[in-house]
């Protein structure tokens, strides 16, 4: 149905980026030492809606995302019949959120909550992993301003320079991004 233009499906979730990098491993040239010093910092929080064709709508803030912000972001998506897939985070299950569901359905926006403990079913989790583990570079963690610029640049390149293609449960990227 989605591929035929009948409806649009988005996968939504929040993620946070801070100067305390989450880099599980890395490679460096022989004899060269790459150092990333973890620093406590404010977080850059991002709420994103990602479709299978890499159409991304992202909203970032240094404020903590709450139900009200997610509701405001979702309200902008009602342009055609749309399904938004979300996890069961508290802000997606609050009374304020549930109160909007009937209104959204009348306008063509439907919410589908994933089963508990199944983040692997939310395609936007792939985007967050790529942003944190592949596309972020060590120098992005020098300051919060540099990190914020890198996050915004990566976000703006999704669907253009960066493309995640989903085929079953596998993914690959078409282009590699080098942010200097």
**Domains of the chain by residue range:** 8-26+42-173
Which pLDDT band holds residue 102 (cuts at 50, 70, 90)? very high
What are the tens digits of pLDDT across the range 119-148?
Answer: 888 999 999 999 988 888 888 888 899 999
74: exposed, middle or buried (Cβ count in 10 Å: 0-12, 13-18, 19+): buried
HSE (side-chain half, CA atoms, 13 Å) at 75: 9
Structure tokens at 116: 């508990």
User: What is the CATH number assigned to the segment(s) 8-26+42-173?
Assistant: 3.30.420.10
80: exposed, middle or buried (Cβ count in 10 Å: 0-12, 13-18, 19+): exposed
Structure tokens at 43: 């977080």
Enter the pTM of the model.
0.79
Overall size of the chain counted in residues: 180
105: CB partners within 8 A, 6+ apart: none
């Amino acid at each position: 149905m989605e591929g035929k233009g009948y409806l649009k499906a988005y996968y939504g979730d929040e993620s946070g980026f801070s100067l305390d990098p989450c880099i599980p491993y890395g490679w460096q040239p022989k004899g060269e030492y790459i150092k990333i010093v973890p620093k406590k910092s404010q977080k850059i929080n991002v709420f994103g809606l990602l479709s299978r064709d890499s159409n991304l709508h992202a909203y970032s803030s240094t404020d903590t995302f709450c139900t009200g912000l997610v509701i405001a972001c979702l309200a902008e998506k009602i342009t055609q019949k749309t399904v938004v897939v979300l996890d069961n985070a508290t802000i997606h299950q609050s009374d304020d959120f549930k109160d909007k569901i009937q209104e959204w359905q009348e306008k063509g926006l439907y919410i589908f909550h994933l089963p508990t403990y199944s983040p692997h079913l939310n395609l936007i989790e792939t985007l967050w992993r790529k942003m944190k583990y592949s596309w972020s570079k060590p120098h992005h963690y020098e300051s919060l301003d540099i990190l914020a610029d890198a996050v915004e640049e990566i976000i703006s390149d999704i669907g253009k320079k960066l493309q995640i293609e989903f085929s079953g449960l596998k993914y690959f990227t078409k282009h590699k991004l080098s942010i200097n």
